Amino acid sequence: MSIKKFSERSHEIPPKASVVLASNLEEEVFSEEFKGDVIKRFFSYVRPYKKQIIPALIAVIIFTITSISIPLIIKNVFDSSLSGENNNINLLYLFVGGFFLAIIFNFISNYLQELLVGKVAEHVLFDMRTAMYEHLQRVSLSFMDKTESGKLMSRLQGDVAALQEFLHTAVFAIGDFVLIIGIIITMLWLDFRLGLLTMIVIPALLLIRIIWIPYARKAFLRARITSSIVSGALAENINGVRAVQGMTREYVNYDLFDLRAKENLRAALKASKIGVIMLPTVDSLSGIARGIVVIVGGIFVLNGQIETGVMVAFVLFIQRFFDPIRALTMHYNVLQRAMASGERIFEVIDVPVDMTDKEDSIIMDELEPSIEFINVTFGYLPNQPVLKNINFKINPGETIALVGPTGSGKTSTTALVHRFYEIWEGQINIGGVNISDIKLESLGKNVSMVLQEPFLFSGSIIDNIIYSTKNVSYKQVIDAAKAVGVHDYIMELPDKYETQLEQRGENLSIGQRQLISFARALVRDSKIIILDEATANIDSYTEMQIQNALKVLLRGRTAMVIAHRLATIRDADKIIVLQNGEIIEQDTHENLIKNKGLYYSLSSLNYSSFDDIPEDLIKKITDESPGT
């Protein structure tokens, strides 16, 4: 079947597209609109660099003074030593000497202000990204479940980069601000009335600003969001490029991406329009102010109310006064753009962390490795419990197998032992202590988890086996690899344990990845292990290895296994049969068979794995024996 290109069918219905959804999704996650004061928040990141900021400000002030004094010195050279009648070469030398002195100060202060402000700016940027990243390490998994990593990446990189532009111009903004204050003081001091008149346009400017800000904010935020959508679509395409090429989706995707990119272009141009509109506004206002000074000042001079010199000074200052205001206007656009990014950054930082250590939380190293669920009820969405009133106990050294159809709550049960989520009701104890009283870190140290889909990081094989476990010797790594039966394979690789893995370990087969993740858990050597057996029937060669590795891994530990293979299930000390979030049976294999309940019915179907049992068959059985 041939598919017409998107452009050829643009008049028809739009294609079913994945990226289209992206914009709507983002709103849900950060539903609460950010209301905090971005600037204030921002300064909290600048504050730690007080030690650099104060000399930087001094440098800015010196730089501003010397920048103003250089033309003044030149003017004085003409006024005093080159005025025509009393040419004085010594005076010339004196002034030129002063000029060079000013240059030296100018140089030093210029260098220092750039250096100090620049460095503080970079530190602030990196600190903000680190704060975001660190926060993401602590927010609950339920938040992470809802968030696409591509979207977060766009905030971690794109928005931080957008802030950079702002910070680079910060040094000028500070200088301009200092200058404005200096000039205002001087003008008021020269002539109070004229000074006030000059500033008569400032309230108007502020008023326009106040009207302008909401529009600007909206436009700049829109530009950032559309840009983030474009990044997200790009990331999605990069990650799924095999599917894209395999399904020849290139043309459709290109056209869809084009829509997003055009939307971003339009939003960016609109933001830019709203931004630059302030330029003629400020210039018109400054034109009015200049006009006022010219007329009122001129008339004052005409009436002899002020000296000509005062008017000259005013005319000079008014020029200097509006230039920094104008420059600040341009910086303000950058600032607005930065605010939009800042908002998006603080949104991430403000995601509440609901899982924290209690004060005087317990280190569980000394606890007996038993697990107990007491009346546990839990769900991901309000009013939709996934687990209902779960009760069971695993004694130290015992292995229990969790079985049940897809969606019965097996994975949720295991996730709770590790406190990935907060339970609604009931209590989970390890060694008789409520896990919410145990220090999270020590929980992680003592409870290993092997996930159904092994996730490997890029890096060497040995790095992946050791991962975050401390004080692991090379021998321990090899022993672990040997124990799970992956050592021989690794030794055949060109760089052996130092072989670099591609992204997500894609250069290894799933089975091998599985074995390495076993080795990773084995190296950790914790007393409790939670294991989600892979559903995929890995090739017969590797599968035998995995079965053996599993035995090694579970030996002498308290274990909770989501078991799919009957062999694993049978070896367990106890079997818990879950259905629709409830425990319907728990006993040993022999007793369960004797009881002739759901477990018996399922096993008697003679499938090699519980997951192999077709859904309609399970349905039939459970309909026949409701709530055994």
Q: Which of residues 226-245 bind other proteins (CB under 8 A)?
A: 230-231, 234-245
In one letter, which amino acid is 413? Answer: T
Binder of other proteins out of 41, 46, 118, 436 (CB under 8 A): 118
46 vs 374 by CB, closer to other proteins: 46
* Residue 70 in the binding site for other proteins (CB under 8 A): yes
Binder of other proteins out of 356, 427, 473, 500 (CB under 8 A): 500
* Residue 252 in the binding site for other proteins (CB under 8 A): yes
Instruction: Write the CA distances from 126 to 44, 47, 440, integer angstroms.
Output: 14, 14, 27
Closest CA to 515 of 559, 545, 477, 537: 545
> 21: Cβ–Cβ under 8 A, 6 or more apart, which residues?
none
The secondary structure element, H or E, covering residue 530 is strand 528-532
Q: What is the 3-class SS of 557-576, one letter each residue?
A: CEEEEECCEHHHHHHCCEEE
Binder of other proteins out of 455, 491, 594, 624 (CB under 8 A): 455
- Contacts (CB under 8 A) with other proteins, residues 381-410: 406
Across-strand partners of 372?
A: 393, 429
Binder of other proteins out of 173, 508, 546, 572 (CB under 8 A): 508
Query: What does 127-185 look like in DSSP terms, one character per residue?
Result: HHHHHHHHHHHHS-HHHHHHS-HHHHHIIIIIIHHHHHHHHHHHHHHHHHHHHHHHHHH
Binding residues with other proteins: total (CB under 8 A): 188
Shortest approach of other proteins to residue 35 CB, angstroms? 26
* Residue 616 in the binding site for other proteins (CB under 8 A): yes
The token duo for 94 is: 């004196």
Do the Cβ atoms of 490 and 529 come closer than 8 Å? no
112 vs 183 by CB, closer to other proteins: 112
* Residue 69 in the binding site for other proteins (CB under 8 A): no
Cβ-in-10-Å burial (0-12, 13-18, 19+) of 299 comes to exposed
Shortest approach of other proteins to residue 234 CB, angstroms? 5
Binder of other proteins out of 51, 138, 555, 594 (CB under 8 A): 138
Shortest approach of other proteins to residue 524 CB, angstroms? 7
* Residue 89 in the binding site for other proteins (CB under 8 A): yes
Binder of other proteins out of 382, 541, 556, 590 (CB under 8 A): 541
Rounded CA separation 472/259 (Å): 52
Shortest approach of other proteins to residue 37 CB, angstroms? 27
* Residue 72 in the binding site for other proteins (CB under 8 A): no
131 vs 188 by CB, closer to other proteins: 131
Binding track over 548-587 against other proteins, x by CB under 8 A: ------------------xx--------------------
Rounded CA separation 231/237 (Å): 10
Instruction: Write the CA distances from 345 to 102, 155, 240, 496, integer angstroms.
Output: 42, 6, 27, 42
* Residue 432 in the binding site for other proteins (CB under 8 A): no
Binder of other proteins out of 302, 359, 432, 556 (CB under 8 A): 302
* Residue 324 in the binding site for other proteins (CB under 8 A): no
